[in-house]
Amino acid sequence: MKILVCGGAGYIGSHMVRTLVANGHEAVIFDNLSTGHPESIPGLPLVQGDLLDSRALLQAFEHHSVDAVMHFCARSLVSESMSEPNAYYQNNVAGTLNLLDAMRRAGVDKLVFSSTAAIFGQPQSDVIDETHPTVPINPYGASKLMVERMLADAASAYGLRSVTLRYFNAAGADPDGDIGESHQPETHLIPNVLRSVLGRGDGLKVFGTDYPTADGTCVRDYIHVNDLTSAHLCALQFMRAHTGAHAFNLGNGCGFSVLEVIESAQRVTGARIEFERAPRRAGDPAVLVASSAKAREQLGWEPVYTGMDEIIATAWRWHRDQRY
């Protein structure tokens, strides 16, 4: 199939493009390069454009006759969304609305959409499945939930087929080590831990050591980026046989605390990792762990990277020799 990958020069998008090509698909990348890296998609067709630019979108669909769209373009930092909500609603909601309009005009009826654990808000159970209430507590989560509603409406009104994949904590890098996670500024735990080993950044801080968890630090469900991309391939297959809008939670089902992540990074890197205990970060729930049973059953998806050391080893390979 030929896929338009919106946000294909970003962290998860660039891994997706690689997975598509490796599996015999064609990828066309649509990216405004605000946070993406053209170095991550060498030699592949890139349309530099913004989802807020309807004309650029329409032209992309006119020039490239695609079978489906994967949509990774978003602002995705919880704390930034609290201080700049309009930017989140504009990019994530209005931008997606433009994309849906352009798809409809072009007659493209299949979309895989990147959503987030943040749509659930404060967890009300140890493990979050798709029946968990969706009560986002920040504009980032709210913006993604709004799009999920738009997709349901577009399914009934226009026959759009969609699969929404709600990522928990995306982590790791392609095992080749030549593409990986590179944000500016970097706020995510695993990159910050590894950067501290390399003497980059301002020193590692652990945000909150008084949570109601076994060691007092937050527990998260880290899922390898290539396990996320393989779920997208399953979603493409799923949409061939299923109409309507569908949503799946994606995690590997195991929670790891911040201190467990640091211990794992010590094993992988062989370095002793120093950190400062800092106050809680606003908006962080104590525990976020996914049930991915529905994705396994209905998409036939199976994550490959289930251990933290394995995930961190791939991220370490990237960070040691970071190319962009």
Q: Does 12 bind ligand UFG (CB under 6 A)?
A: no
CA dist 230 and 15 (Å) reads 10
Binding segment for ligand UFG (CB under 6 A), chosen from 19-27, 101-109, 181-189, 223-231, is: 181-189
Stretch 110-149: interaction string toward ligand UFG, x if CB under 6 A: ------xxx---------------------x---------
The answer to whether residue 89 is catalytic is: no
User: Would you put residue 159 in left (φ > 0), alpha (ψ -120 to 50) or beta?
Assistant: left
**Least Å distance between CB 293 and ligand UFG?**
20
* String of DSSP letters for 279-318: PPPTT--SEE-B--HHIIIII----S--SHHHHHHHHHHH
**Least Å distance between CB 45 and ligand UFG?**
28
Residue numbers 207-266 binding ligand UFG by CB under 6 A: 207, 218, 220, 258
Residues touching ligand UFG, count (CB under 6 A): 20
CA dist 178 and 61 (Å) reads 30
**Least Å distance between CB 309 and ligand UFG?**
17
Q: H or E segment at 26?
A: strand 26-31
**Least Å distance between CB 231 and ligand UFG?**
16
Q: Within 13 Å, how many C-alpha atoms sit on residue 145's CB side?
A: 16
Q: Does 284 bind ligand UFG (CB under 6 A)?
A: yes
| Torsion over CA: 41, 42, 43, 49 (sign) | positive
Q: Does 281 bind ligand UFG (CB under 6 A)?
A: yes
Q: Which is nearer to ligand UFG, 40 or 257 (CB)?
A: 257
Q: Does 195 bind ligand UFG (CB under 6 A)?
A: no
Q: Which residue is nearest to ligand UFG (CB)?
A: 218
Q: Which residues pair with 6 in a beta bridge?
A: 30, 71
**Least Å distance between CB 144 and ligand UFG?**
8
DSSP code of 322?
Answer: -
Alpha helices (runs of H) in the chain, residue ranges in sequence order: 11-22, 54-63, 78-83, 85-88, 95-106, 139-158, 189-197, 225-241, 258-269, 293-294, 308-320
Q: Nearest Cα to 120, choosing from 188, 167, 73?
A: 167
Q: Does 104 bind ligand UFG (CB under 6 A)?
A: no
Catalytic entry in 88, 140, 167, 222: 140
**Least Å distance between CB 168 and ligand UFG?**
7
| Token pair of 316 as six digits | 């370490």
Residue numbers 37-56 binding ligand UFG by CB under 6 A: none
Q: Does 74 bind ligand UFG (CB under 6 A)?
A: no
Out of 76, 98, 269, 314, the residue judged to bind ligand UFG by CB under 6 A = 76
User: Would you put residue 38 in left (φ > 0), alpha (ψ -120 to 50) or beta?
Assistant: alpha
Q: Does 205 bind ligand UFG (CB under 6 A)?
A: yes
Q: Nearest Cα to 225, choosing from 158, 305, 160?
A: 305
CA dist 321 and 324 (Å) reads 9
Q: Which is nearer to ligand UFG, 80 or 101 (CB)?
A: 80
Give the SS3 label for residue 165.
strand
**Least Å distance between CB 288 and ligand UFG?**
6
Q: What are the residue numbers of the active site?
A: 140
Binding site for ligand UFG (CB under 6 A): 76, 78, 116-118, 140, 169, 187-189, 192, 205-207, 218, 220, 258, 281, 284, 288
